[in-house]
Amino acid sequence: MTATARKTLLLVYHSWTGATEQMIHAVARGAAGEPDVDVRLLRAPEAGPGDLLAADGYVFATPENLAAIAGLMKDFFDRSYYGALDRINGRPYAAVICAGSDGSNAARQIARIATGWRLRDIAPPLIVCTHAQTPEDILAPKHVPTDELAKGEELGAAFATGLAMGAF
């Protein structure tokens, strides 16, 4: 495949209170500026192994719930893992985590799954901390600050540019 061939960037996400959805839409906006990349945005329950096989790169976005990836993201990985195993080796990925505290455990879980798939990370996990610590704050709808959304747009733009150039 030449560097000028059209590529597909698959964005798979789950969002409960809106923060992760805002971030993945920011990633999609950033990636949409690359004319040689098709951006596919799917909620985790709608995505499966066929979507992974049809894409050239991935962004996985999830809230961190109880120090883990969200259940619907786990379900996506469970349903897709063996159908994609040894068929997507070497493809690039990035992770976006929205968390009330540090998000590091969810990032580690995604990295372990990506290692099993033999994916290549193209950026450190983008972790957005909402600082929600009370039950009321945790369950409340979230508003992601503009500077955090800008980081998502930058990730999307850089990922799409790299795919289009054949850098990953």
pLDDT, tens only, 77-101: 999 999 999 999 999 999 999 999 8
Instruction: Average the pLDDT over 109-136 and give the result.
Output: 96
DSSP code for 130: -
Task: Give pLDDT, residue 138.
Answer: 87
User: pTM, whole model, 2 decimals?
Assistant: 0.95
CA atoms in the 13 A half-sphere facing the CB of 116 = 13
Task: Give pLDDT, residue 100.
Answer: 92
Tokens 């580690």, residue located: 108
Structure token digits, residue 78: 């469970």
H-run or E-run covering 85: none
pLDDT at 71 over 90: yes
Q: What CATH code would you report for 7-165?
A: 3.40.50.360
Task: Give pLDDT, residue 5.
Answer: 84
Task: Give pLDDT, residue 44.
Answer: 98
* Four-CA torsion 42, 48, 53, 56, nearest 10 degrees: 30
Which distant-in-sequence residues (6+ apart) come within 8 Å of 30 by Cβ?
Answer: 152, 153, 154, 155, 156, 157, 158, 159, 160
